[in-house]
């Protein structure tokens, strides 16, 4: 049972791998692969990218601000595709929430008196949900987000190498 | 009025020590840069800038790998046996 050489089944890496492989198999089954028109290839690439983010977000679930933000974004994307009218409503609400929180944060940031507001703002754009985070949360969430991204890259690389031969 | 309370509580919640600690955690996650001029005293701004660049690099890698996988998709049929092999390669 305690085999150090086997991947811990409850680890993030393992959960992501299982989900992502399942998603890839599903994507392959959806359309005939023989068609290699540029649009088809691009659609496949988009679907795989979304599957990678989705698999990661679902593996982390709602334990992190960034994963919650990503799940929210993914879900509102799928609603928008089903019903274009409701999507527009969603988008406006989201913008309203973001604007409200970012206004509060603008006040805090100016009060901080530290010399890296610009860099922190740039980071907020890169981390999902970053616009609503204060500085402490931003730094903490970023560390976790980076760990998950490196896991994502590692697994995707292994899968690509595995199927390249 | 409530915004002032928010500001004050945020300031007391975020001590400089806390920020320094979180920044050092981040720095340890970043890839080592061989020709960096500063050794220990990298400013907070620098660490954040390097963090942003690193995240952008990782995003780009995910993009490239998604592209690569889209071309390999015809061969990917991950039944349980193959999934187990892949998982064992990841340890």
Q: What is the ipTM of this complex?
A: 0.77
- The arithmetic mean of pLDDT across residues A13-22, rounded, is 92
- The arithmetic mean of pLDDT across residues B83-88, rounded, is 78
Q: Is residue A34 part of a domain?
A: yes
Parent domain of A30: 12-82+125-163
- The arithmetic mean of pLDDT across residues A83-100, rounded, is 49
B80 touches chain A (CB under 8 A): no
Per-residue pLDDT band for A163 (boundaries 50, 70, 90) equals confident
Whether B43 has a pLDDT exceeding 50, the answer reads yes
On average, the pLDDT of chain B sits at 78
Sign of CA dihedral A107, B27, B56, A59: negative
Q: Which of A98-102, A132-136, B77-81, B84-88 has the highest mean pLDDT?
A: A132-136
Q: Is residue B37 part of a domain?
A: no
CB contact under 8 A, A45 and B72: no
Q: Is residue A130 part of a domain?
A: yes
Looking at residue A34, its pLDDT comes to 62
- The total of structural domains in chain A comes to 1
Q: Which helix (H) or strand (E) segment is A21 a member of?
A: helix A12-30
Range in A55-59, B56-60, B67-71 with the lowest mean pLDDT: B67-71
Q: Is residue B56 part of a domain?
A: yes
Comparison of pLDDT for A51 and B88, the residue scoring more:
A51
Q: Is residue A88 part of a domain?
A: no
Comparison of pLDDT for A102 and B65, the residue scoring more:
B65
Question: CA of B9: which chain A residue's CA is closest?
Answer: A108
Segment 4-43 of chain A within 8 Å of chain B by CB: 5-7, 13-14, 17-18, 21-22, 24-25, 27-28, 33, 41
Query: Nearest-CA distance from A87 to chain B in Å?
Result: 26
Range in A32-36, A90-94, B54-58 with the lowest mean pLDDT: A90-94
Range in A48-62, A83-97, B17-31 with the lowest mean pLDDT: A83-97
Nearest to B52 among A21, A126, A156 (CB): A126
- The arithmetic mean of pLDDT across residues B7-31, rounded, is 78
Q: Is residue A93 part of a domain?
A: no
Nearest to A48 among B26, B70, B85 (CB): B70
B50 touches chain A (CB under 8 A): no
The CA distance from A76 to A163, in Å, is 33
Q: Is residue A113 part of a domain?
A: no
Comparison of pLDDT for B19 and A89, the residue scoring more:
B19
Whether A164 has a pLDDT exceeding 80, the answer reads yes
Segment 70-129 of chain A within 8 Å of chain B by CB: 104, 107-108, 111-112, 114-116, 118-120, 122-123, 126-127
Q: Is residue A72 part of a domain?
A: yes
Range in A123-127, B1-5, B39-43 with the lowest mean pLDDT: B1-5
Question: CA of B53: which chain A residue's CA is closest?
Answer: A123
Set of chain B residues whose Cβ sits within 8 Å of the Cβ of A126:
52, 55-56, 59
What are the phi and psi torsion angles at B31 (to 5°)? -65, 145
What are the phi and psi torsion angles at B82 (to 5°)? -65, -40
Q: Is residue B52 part of a domain?
A: yes
- The arithmetic mean of pLDDT across residues A142-155, rounded, is 96
Looking at residue B1, its pLDDT comes to 53
Parent domain of B66: 43-90
Set of chain A residues whose Cβ sits within 8 Å of the Cβ of B23:
139
Comparison of pLDDT for B41 and B32, the residue scoring more:
B32
Q: Is residue A129 part of a domain?
A: yes
- The total of structural domains in chain B comes to 1
How many cross-chain Cβ pairs, A to B, lie less than 8 Å apart? 164
The CA distance from A108 to A94, in Å, is 21
Record the tokens describing residue B59, joined without a space.
Answer: 């995003």
Question: CA of A9: which chain B residue's CA is closest?
Answer: B87
Record the tokens describing residue B62, joined without a space.
Answer: 């995910």
A69 touches chain B (CB under 8 A): no
On average, the pLDDT of chain A sits at 80
Tell me how far apart the terminal alpha carbons of chain B are, to the nearest angstrom. Answer: 54
Looking at residue A136, its pLDDT comes to 93
The CA distance from B79 to B44, in Å, is 47
- The arithmetic mean of pLDDT across residues B2-29, rounded, is 72
Residue A98 near residue A131 (C-beta atoms within 8 A) = yes
The CA distance from B43 to B29, in Å, is 16
């Amino acid at each position: 049972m305690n085999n150090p050489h086997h991947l811990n089944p409850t680890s993030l890496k393992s959960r992501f791998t299982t989900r992502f492989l399942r998603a890839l198999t599903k994507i392959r089954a959806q359309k005939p692969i023989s068609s290699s028109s540029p649009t088809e290839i691009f659609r496949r690439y988009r679907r795989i990218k979304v599957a990678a983010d989705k698999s990661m977000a679902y593996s982390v679930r709602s334990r992190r601000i960034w994963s919650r933000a990503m799940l929210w974004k993914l879900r509102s994307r799928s609603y928008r595709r089903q019903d274009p009218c409701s999507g527009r409503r969603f988008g406006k609400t989201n913008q309203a929430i973001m604007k409200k929180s970012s206004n509060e944060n603008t006040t805090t940031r100016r009060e901080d008196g530290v010399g890296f507001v610009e860099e922190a703002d740039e980071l907020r754009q890169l981390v999902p949900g970053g616009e609503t985070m204060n500085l402490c949360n931003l730094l903490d969430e970023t560390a976790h987000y980076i760990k998950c991204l490196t896991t994502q890259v590692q697994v995707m690389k292994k899968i690509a190498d595995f199927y390249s031969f | 009025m409530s915004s002032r309370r928010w500001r004050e509580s945020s300031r007391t919640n975020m001590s400089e020590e806390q920020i320094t600690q979180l920044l050092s955690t981040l720095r340890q996650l970043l890839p080592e840069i061989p020709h960096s001029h500063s050794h220990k005293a990298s400013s907070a701004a620098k660490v954040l800038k390097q963090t942003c660049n690193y995240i952008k690099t990782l995003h780009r890698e995910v993009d490239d790998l998604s592209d690569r996988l889209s071309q390999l998709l015809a061969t990917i049929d991950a039944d349980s046996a193959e999934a187990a092999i892949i998982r064992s390669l990841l340890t």
